[in-house]
């Protein structure tokens, strides 16, 4: 897979913005918010791992 076509920064920003919007609007319960936060953290870890191994 060629990762150069994936805009990881845009995806990361979208996840962060979505999490923050949900937190501010209280449109979800705490469990759903925690799951979204965990998904965001997992994505960031995968991104860091992928970028460090791409060298």
Residues in the chain: 55
Residue 4: inside a domain, yes or no?
Answer: no
Cβ neighbours of residue 11 closer than 8 Å, sequence gap 6 or more: 43
The range of the structural domain enclosing residue 53 comes to 9-20+31-55
pLDDT in tens, 29-43: 777 778 877 887 888
Please say if the pLDDT value at position 11 is more than 70: yes
Residue 39: inside a domain, yes or no?
Answer: yes
Residue 46: inside a domain, yes or no?
Answer: yes
Output the pTM of the full model.
0.50
d(CA 53, CA 25): 37
d(CA 37, CA 20): 9
pLDDT in tens, 41-51: 888 788 777 66
Q: Identify the pLDDT of residue 3.
A: 53
Residue 40: inside a domain, yes or no?
Answer: yes
Q: How many domains does the chain have?
A: 1
């Amino acid at each position: 897979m060629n990762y150069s076509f994936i805009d990881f920064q845009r995806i990361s920003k979208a996840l962060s913005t979505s999490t923050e919007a949900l937190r501010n609007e209280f449109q979800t319960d705490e469990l759903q918010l925690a799951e979204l936060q965990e998904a965001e953290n997992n994505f960031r870890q995968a991104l860091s791992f992928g970028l460090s191994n791409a060298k």
